[in-house]
Amino acid sequence: MKQFAIRRLYSYFETTSEDIDSSSFDQNLEALDAEIKLLLEKYGLKLINQDTRFVPMAKLSAKKCDRCDNLMINRDKNPAGFNREQLWVDLDSDYNFVIWDGGTHEGEELCMECLPIEHRWGYFS
């Protein structure tokens, strides 16, 4: 039986509202997309779609984990997580593999994998 294998690839970069308004990074992303398309074709894969979402870091308490640099939302500061109505995308289901839950522990902001088990947002709690 034939099947389609669909693979997602996530990446991120930090930018500013000014960069977004001026679209200063568009040329770099277009060049990257062209290279990715060629690389995928080399292995018999087809690039179907890619998109970019902007996540307001301060508004959502989103940041990099102080220990491992995983992207996270500090749920101690933002217990609700993503606000679907304001971001026009269901980040809870679409991006929960990229931006993890996290919290504050002993002065550090840590993702769910770096938090101790006993912390409310720790991976195994």
The residue type at 86: Q
Q: What is the pLDDT of residue 124?
A: 60
From the list 112, 123, 17, the residue with the least C-alpha distance to 71 is 112
Q: What is the pLDDT of residue 88?
A: 45
Q: What is the pLDDT of residue 84?
A: 56
Which stretches in the chain have pLDDT values below 50?
Answer: 88, 90, 92, 125
**How would you class 32 by CB atoms within 10 Å of its CB: exposed for 0-12, middle for 13-18, buried for 19 or more?**
middle
pTM above 0.75, yes or no: no
